[in-house]
Homo-oligomer: A and B are copies of this chain.
């Protein structure tokens, strides 16, 4: 329902699989901090250890030793507002007529209720409200009537929505990516076996080599002896719908998704952000840590740009910091220091001390800010709360002007594909123009990146991306929402490329 999760799977020749899975989950921890789990199989029986908590807290050395077998799957689950019940921790396991089945799921189905109703009609009873149990029951059902590949195909045909799944059917380990390839999943070679993971950084952690991404609609079956893998292209839709937000925010910078290194994508988005809306202020500073790669690209582009290319209308920058010749003198500096110790147990200040809470988390460096015109770079604006506080913080620290540049288009609609951003009402840009958002933020100017810049950076056609959250048009049929097949190619990108506050 709300899984912004990480999945992994492994099949090794001789070594036990639990420890490599454990390290994989550590590498994917940023994708989910609510629960962690590993399911293995030793050829005779299934072993499972699934608990709420961080990877490091869930598994003790003994737990890993008891997870026997050379093959297995793993999962980390994203925390959601809806409670941290152990009920929905994964992998989800069942045993049935044809053996055991374990599933780890990243993504979100949009027809869970229908599939569940069908299964209930046949007498199935469910212990949770999650879509993963529904997938497990459907697959178990199909495995009674068909061979493995055919059963997976039948289940895929029945499921609508986004899913990257790792599956353990007894000691047969598989990975599946939904036909539109919304969530990432890749294959790695470990020398003595193979690994599947949401992100390539997990493969790096195991000292393995990224082979390639699992293709949209592809089923990958790992040989149980770690000797190889088979591929079955079970669906071949005319388009794909990869999530661009993985690149902007969610994935690790050191992961390669569908051929693009996330860090480089962010730097390039930063360069394009400058190109589309340059603000040659005294100093460029990232919101740590999310804006750092964008800011680095932005500053780099700025330092390389001949003054003559700076579009007119950015009087702020030109008039103050730029010279007519050479590159504009834009300093890149950390202007906000992050306190890494502020965590869950923090006692919130009372209302009148609220400002102090922000300063506890992010403290401006006065010498970088005071008396300066500042460009603040972040990856995205969701609710706008933090951005508003940061702009105020910088003004309070003496910034002469605060120009905000965002490495993504305005988020105008909710995500139904597995990233639990916020409801439409909570999204600051859902009912505000960029100028209105700027005003709310209190920024001197505000510019988002265009959709086109993203598509070009990723070298995809716009219809091959899921842009639901920035267009409101989705690649899947969702009750009450518009499908992107029905709409003209929107011109939103151009609009958003124009900065508010500039004239």
Contacts and interface: CB of A to CB of B under 8 A. Distances in A.
Most B C-beta atoms less than 10 A away, residue of A29, A96, A355: A96
B337 A201 contact: yes
Interface stretch (A306-314, A343-351, A418-426, A477-485): A343-351
Given A364-B254, A365-B263, A64 B347 contact: yes
Given A334-B292, A340-B340, A123 B126 contact: no
Nearest to A261: B367
Given A95-B125, A125-B95, A296 B26 contact: no
A204 B363 contact: yes
Interface string A322-358: 0000000001111001011111111101000101100
A405 interface: no
A249 interface: no
Given A56-B343, A56-B345, A57-B345, A360 B26 contact: yes
A451 interface: no
A39 interface: no
Interface of A: 19, 22-23, 26-27, 29-30, 33, 54-57, 59-61, 64, 86, 92-97, 101, 117, 120-127, 129, 136-137, 140-141, 144, 201, 204-207, 252-254, 261, 263-264, 267, 292-293, 296, 300, 303, 331-334, 337, 339-347, 349, 353, 355-356, 359-360, 363-368
A270 B267 CA distance: 23
Most B C-beta atoms less than 10 A away, residue of A64, A204, A252, A342: A204
Contacts of A366: 261
Contacts of A96: 120, 123-126
A346 to B, nearest CB: 5
A127 B337 CA distance: 39
A361 to B, nearest CB: 9
Given A60-B347, A123-B124, A252-B337, 5 more contacts: A23-B356, A27-B360, A57-B345, A124-B124, A296-B332
A126 B126 CA distance: 9
Contact of A123 (B59, B60, B86, B144): B144
Contacts of A363: 27, 201, 204-205, 252, 254
A138 to B, nearest CB: 10
B27 A127 contact: no
Contacts of A345: 54, 56-57
Contacts of A334: 253, 263, 292-293, 296
A23 B144 CA distance: 45
A86 B49 CA distance: 11
A19 B97 contact: no
So how many copies of this chain end up in the complex? 4
A30 B55 CA distance: 24
Contact of A359 (B141, B205, B360): B205
Contact of A26 (B92, B201, B339): B339
18 contacts: A23-B349, A23-B360, A27-B363, A54-B345, A56-B342, A95-B127, A96-B124, A96-B125, A97-B121, A97-B123, A127-B127, A201-B337, A205-B363, A207-B355, A207-B359, A254-B364, A261-B366, A261-B367
Contact of A122 (B123, B303, B333, B343): B123
Nearest to A145: B123
Contacts of A349: 19, 23
Contact of A368 (B137, B263, B365): B263
Contacts of A26: 339, 341-342, 346, 360
Contacts of A359: 204-205, 207
Nearest to A139: B125
A9 B350 CA distance: 21
A337 B56 contact: no
A56 B300 CA distance: 39
A23 B55 CA distance: 29
B125 A140 contact: yes
Contact of A341 (B29, B300, B343, B353): B29
The 9 residue pairs across chains A and B that have the minimum distance between CB atoms:
A94-B125, A97-B120, A56-B345, A96-B125, A254-B337, A29-B341, A125-B140, A254-B365, A254-B363
B253 A365 contact: yes
A254 B340 CA distance: 13
A56 B346 contact: yes
